[in-house]
Structure 1
Amino acid sequence: MASEILLYWSSGSGPSWRVMLALEEKGLSGYGNKLLSFDKKEHKSEEVMEINPRGQIPAMKHGDVIVNDSMAAIIYLEAAFKGKGIELLPSDPAQQAPVLQRMMETNTLMDKIRNVVFINKSNLDEAKINQNKANLRAEILLWEGYLKQLGGNTFITGKNFTLADCCLFPSVAVLVRQGMDLEKHAPNLAKYYNTVKERPSAKASWPPHFKTSPDQDGLKDLY
């Protein structure tokens, strides 16, 4: 089964990491994969463009099935491998709702991180830079509140790890990677990060360059 899967991905890409977490949690270790470099524009190669005309990654093939959007890919993996690994999306619609809701919300967190850390600041005035930081602080507070409501020692929708966690954890890991002091400013997110990072799926999919290069300081002055 895993041998029929081919994933094109990039180290540190949040969308790629989502899919890799889901693959590991579904017990699909050993899937085929190709690590691509954004710097070398390998995501625009003919090989990738053939299956994803947008030239974006992740791009995933499972036999004759092609799924490129990361959220579509993880929903597909849960459906295609129902009963294998852990259940990442409950079958009951009422229980699905919060998982799907939090999944979609993680895109907002990812965008607000990008607007502070990865945007070209030479095109922004100081007021806009400060507003982007304020927007990210407010977004982090929202996620902190979600976890606080659940008791602080849970996954993002309750006691079970779900697709929502596949989507949230990469962004939380980037907060840490970029120098944010989670323990000080978002203690429930810190507990969440420390819990999820110890899962075998997180260890197996940890971005290679996170292991070999020092952490960054893009968020050291967020607060």
Structure 2
Amino acid sequence: MIFRTSPVSMTGMKSLNKQLLRGLLLSCILPLFYCGISREVVQKVVAVPSFSNTSKVPIEANLIHSISDEFIVSLVQTKKFAVTERKKLDSLLQEHALEQKGLLETENAIKIGKMLKAKYIILCSISKINILVKNNIPDIANIQVYNANLDGDIEVTARMIDIEKGIIIAASKKETKVFENYNRVGNIQKNLVIQELNALKERMIQKGLSQLTDSLARDLADEI
């Protein structure tokens, strides 16, 4: 007995194959689609006051503002944070007679954060600045030749506080080393050498802090 396949049966097989192929493609594509949705980043609204200087080395206010702005830019670039307007924060600090150091108290930080309608507040501190001049300045009025190596350690810390819960949800501490060399030849007054060394120290501090802002922001972004 010979069985023959009818045209209708072949058409049905083709239709079934198409359905199977479509199902296979969907099973491969849909997980990728939903994976993309699940990875969509929900930005956290944060208030970011200027850095507080808790080190023993005085720093110009302009430099602190500049470094704070760099840190905010680095935070935004992680795409995990939306930062509240800085001017509004400064205005609230003045209104409530609070200095930057006052915000190191968690209670004060939470109070200001709520007024800004932020969910989180990030408190940063310049915790250590130590710059050592390896070669002492000669104790004479006019110096003919002077060379010195300068080595520095700079450290910053950050705490991210959940304003509603009043708890720290992320923290980071970063440290960097900076090096410079000073050379002077000729009949130079000692006071001028001191001024130039101080200016060089300031540049070292700025360089070190600039290096730390980006790594500090990325570290916080990785923790949340």
Task: Tell me the TM-score normalised to structure 2 length.
Answer: 0.30
User: Which has the larger strand fraction?
Assistant: 2
User: Which has the larger helix fraction?
Assistant: 1
Task: Tell me the TM-score normalised to structure 1 length.
Answer: 0.30
Q: Which has the larger radius of gyration?
A: 2
